[in-house]
Structure 1
Amino acid sequence: MTRRIALFTATRAEYGLLRPVARALAAQDGTAPLWLVGGAHLSVTLGGTVSEIEADGEPVAARLQDTAPADDTPAAVARAAARTGAAVAEALVRLAPDALVVLGDRTELLGAATAAVCLGVPLVHLEGGHVTEGAIDDRIRHAVSKLADLHFTARPAYADRLLQLGEPADRVFVVGSTGVDDLRAAGPTDLAAASAALDWPLNPGVVLVAWHPETLSGRDAGADVRAVLAGVLAAAGERRLVLTGPNADVGREAVQAELERVAAAHPDRVRLYASLGRARWGKVLGAADALVGNSSAGVIEAPALGVPSVNAGDRQAGRLRLPGVIDCDVTAEGVAAALRQALDPAFRAGLSPDPLADGQAAKRIAATLATVDFGALARKPFVDRP
């Protein structure tokens, strides 16, 4: 009998990380993916990225309507998480999957995970064990880890943290990050391929910028991104700048307004994309001279490809750092200095791809989901450790 594995996605970020898992499940005998799609994917304001999922040929089993935040206030984000829980519950009752897979630390995951636990649907969590001290996501990630029945994480250090949370060792698997699976499968990229993907010549080079609000700092989200963009403009030389829209976090609207202002002020040099989509993102990242911002891609995907990354502020504080990641303050001067270092040919020449990012994480996950005894996961002990 085919095991039907539901995958929940509410944003472009975790969709790109889950897509390799869905494809591995589809390619493997005895498993099939079911996409539960909601949140920003179904919001025109937030990019309407369900169209990208459909363009990829992925089967959407359930559209979770009215699950995106109405605005970027804390109350709207909280209400969206609650609506997501209700919508996921309805989808799980209707589809009766064998398990639900969630990834990461977005607020929407609380609703989805709660629904699975209440309905007795085995919950599989990807990318637990990270620490991101500068975002509310940190608490959500650990909470979902405690709700989950099975864990797939990227590094031994992250697995150790899950064990510290009392998780049984036989339920925690170190598989690498799915974030680079697609990038590895696509093979080498270059400036010509990236230019063709965007239909915009990127000569003499490109800097990719991905900035999201810091949700725990109390900082002015608009002022922060204004400083980051000023630093990038000062240090990038004649390179093109590709900006991606922010996540649906508190403070999003202020960030979006600043991105739009800079793109309008420099139309020949700067372009803003609500969502690049996974294919274009991979091509631009692989060809970029540097990635600047505070996205997890800067500390996971960019280093895996040997692309220099400037990480500004505290949003990713606590994550492991690989060579090629340059941390700096959220000031124009700090960002400019860090970017100049990243753009130094000698700096990049000293980098090498992450050996743990071999592009096989999704296959490892799918193989385990094909054989694990889901029934035995219903009772999860808390393991006390010294």
Structure 2
Amino acid sequence: MIKKKICFVLGSRANYSSIKTVMTEFKKNLNFNIQIILFNSSILDRYGDISELLKNDKFLIKDKIFTLVEGEKPLTMAKSTGLGLIEISTCLNRISPDLVFVVGDRFETMATAISSTYMNIPLAHTMGGEVTGTIDESIRHALTKLSHLHFVATKNSKIRVKKMGENPSNIFQVGCPRIDFVKETLELTKLNKDDIKDGVGYQIDYDKPFIIFSYHPVTTEYVDIKNQIDLLLSCINDLDIQSIIIWPNADAGSGEIAKMIRIYRERGCLKKTKLFKNIPTQTYIHLLNKTKCIVGNSSSGIREGNYIGVPCVNIGSRQHLRERGKNVKDVGYNKKKIINAIKTQIKIGKYSRDFLYGDGKAGKKIVNILEKIKNIKVQKTINY
């Protein structure tokens, strides 16, 4: 029996948690052979190298490609994508997969999608059809148009992908694989406090109230990032509650965020705050389950937070129009409103669990669907 070769190209730590359960299901299935390529921030210590994580999970890494151009500016994002296109094309030509999987809306994912398209390799995409702010909005829909199979999380996402002219028979509402990971983590593991000793700053008592602050650059508001993070850190400082600050991703503007965090610490501010450059994903899920509130603009407060029921204060436009549940309160860049929203969410406490983004079985559904698909037509035709 000839096994189908399924290639997963992972460009960040978030990519892995977003597709891990799918990879696991493929690995268990005798009809498939998985190939894993790591590139961009996924192999850099600064952003959380996932190499050892994959090895611990018993995944074999086929190749590592260094493509991230330093600078954290719009220019370097474009250059990183271009370099990724060159290097990934070489890698795909060598391993010759039958199908390539791409995840979500990260800028580096475009390199994989363009390369696969020109090389006539069918492309499968998860988390398409969703709506947000920042450059991710454009990247996500571009990925949809380059992809052949669409594994979407919600009913509305399925409708949007269909409206973009994709073949309805190739659109599958399966839920989000990240919810699989959350469900599995909370049911099968416990918080390992050894994984949260490496942060810098205040020694947080995790049995007492704490909040999580996770704020990433809004690339389409690049010139405003310094003022935005200055305002938000002043809110955290004034709240005087135990706080975990998560290092930003590799998008343009992350350097400004990191610089401002350092400035606040040098001033002697953020006294009850612990800073983490990266946290093991399972540990993060357990912290999300324990926190009184997640604050910032990370999708985890909206997606994973919705399933867990954690109170979320979403700030600014990065998650603009993303489907959300009752656990989310949206605010703009207004200090008084941000602080009041956080206090209100802490007072409300845990929300009821919601299944907006799936029931935790997306990985199994995706593999079951692909088992039934014998041939994937490379030539696409717009369906309107």
TM-score by length of 1: 0.91
Which residue is equivalent to 1:335? 338
Following superposition, the deviation at residue 281 of structure 1 comes to: 1.2
Quickly say closer, same or farther: Cα 1:263–1:196, change in 2 above 3 A: farther
The one-character-per-residue Cα deviations of 1:326-367 (angstroms, maximum 9, x if unpaired) are 1001232222111111101xx335533326532101111122
Aligned to 2:349, the other structure's residue is in SS state: helix
Which residue is equivalent to 2:170? 171
The one-character-per-residue Cα deviations of 1:121-169 (angstroms, maximum 9, x if unpaired) are 110011010111x301111111110000000010010010001100010
Aligned to 1:128, the other structure's residue is in SS state: coil
Which residue is equivalent to 1:259? 261
Structure 2: runs of 5+ lacking an equivalent: 198-203
Residues matched between the structures, number: 376
AA in 1 matched with 2:92: L
Residue 196 of structure 2 is aligned to residue 198 of structure 1: yes
Q: Tell me if structure 2 keeps the 8 A contact 1:194–1:202.
A: no
Which residue is equivalent to 1:246? 248
Which residue is equivalent to 1:90? 90
Q: Tell me if structure 2 keeps the 8 A contact 1:41–1:49.
A: yes
Quickly say closer, same or farther: Cα 1:3–1:228, change in 2 above 3 A: same
The one-character-per-residue Cα deviations of 1:10-31 (angstroms, maximum 9, x if unpaired) are 1111121011111111122312
Return the alpha-carbon distance in structure 2 between the equivalents of residues 296 and 259 of structure 1: 21
Aligned to 2:379, the other structure's residue is in SS state: coil
Which residue is equivalent to 2:36? 35
Aligned to 2:110, the other structure's residue is in SS state: helix
Which residue is equivalent to 2:309? 306
Following superposition, the deviation at residue 308 of structure 1 comes to: 0.8
Q: Tell me if structure 2 keeps the 8 A contact 1:306–1:354.
A: no
Aligned to 2:354, the other structure's residue is in SS state: coil
AA in 2 matched with 1:221: I
Instruction: Please identify, of 281-290 and 351-360, the stretch whose mean Cα deviation from structure 2 is larger.
Output: 351-360
Q: CA RMSD in A?
A: 2.1
TM alignment of 1:222-241, pairs within 5 A: 222-235=226-239, 237-238=240-241, 240-241=242-243
TM alignment of 1:53-72, pairs within 5 A: 53-65=54-66, 67-72=67-72
Quickly say closer, same or farther: Cα 1:113–1:356, change in 2 above 3 A: closer
AA in 2 matched with 1:202: Y
Return the alpha-carbon distance in structure 1 between the equivalents of residues 269 and 23 of structure 2: 39
AA in 2 matched with 1:294: N
Q: Tell me if structure 2 keeps the 8 A contact 1:24–1:366.
A: yes
Identity of aligned residues (%): 23
Quickly say closer, same or farther: Cα 1:263–1:54, change in 2 above 3 A: farther
Following superposition, the deviation at residue 104 of structure 1 comes to: 0.8
AA in 1 matched with 2:364: K
Return the alpha-carbon distance in structure 2 between the equivalents of residues 209 and 273 of structure 1: 11
TM-score by length of 2: 0.92
Which residue is equivalent to 1:207? 211
Return the alpha-carbon distance in structure 2 between the equivalents of residues 189 and 331 of structure 1: 40
Return the alpha-carbon distance in structure 1 between the equivalents of residues 250 and 342 of structure 2: 26
Structure 1: runs of 5+ lacking an equivalent: none
